Amino acid sequence: MKNRRWMGIVACSFTGAMACSVQAERLGALEPRNSSGRDEAGSAGESAIELQLAAGSARTISASELEDGGEGLMGEFGDGQGKWQLFVASDDELHVVNLLDSATGNLTNLSARGADNFSE
């Protein structure tokens, strides 16, 4: 992955679905191409996840979909330890947000600021 340009949130972490039964975190993405992840133990996911969206569209992906696969997703991270850190890549401009959907119905944006346009 040398000289690869990453756009969007570089350190977007989420709690695995099994780690938190009361709260479910979601990853919202606009026009992403693929993402890879590492868990808190530093282990890489089983595979990168690829998703293709039409220009101007958006998709919400749950933590369980990232770990176990989901409709329209190619690949899955599998079970990890603790939180995952995602690395998201796109050929075009990309906006990624990390959302916490609480049991009380509140939606909280957990996204980091200023992480756009990171080059690895």
Closest CA to 65 of 8, 13, 10, 16: 16
- Rounded to the nearest integer, the mean pLDDT of the chain is 65
Based on the number of CB atoms within 10 Å of its own CB, is 8 exposed (0-12), middle (13-18) or buried (19 or more)?
buried
* Residues of the chain above pLDDT 70, percent: 62
Closest CA to 29 of 102, 111, 106, 115: 111
pLDDT at 114: 55
pLDDT at 18: 30
Q: Residue 10: is its pLDDT beyond 50?
A: no
Location of structure tokens 């975190």: 25
Q: Residue 117: is its pLDDT beyond 70?
A: no
Closest CA to 48 of 78, 8, 23: 78
Question: 15-60: per-residue pLDDT in tens?
Answer: 443 332 223 444 544 444 556 777 778 888 888 888 877 777 777 7
pLDDT at 34: 59
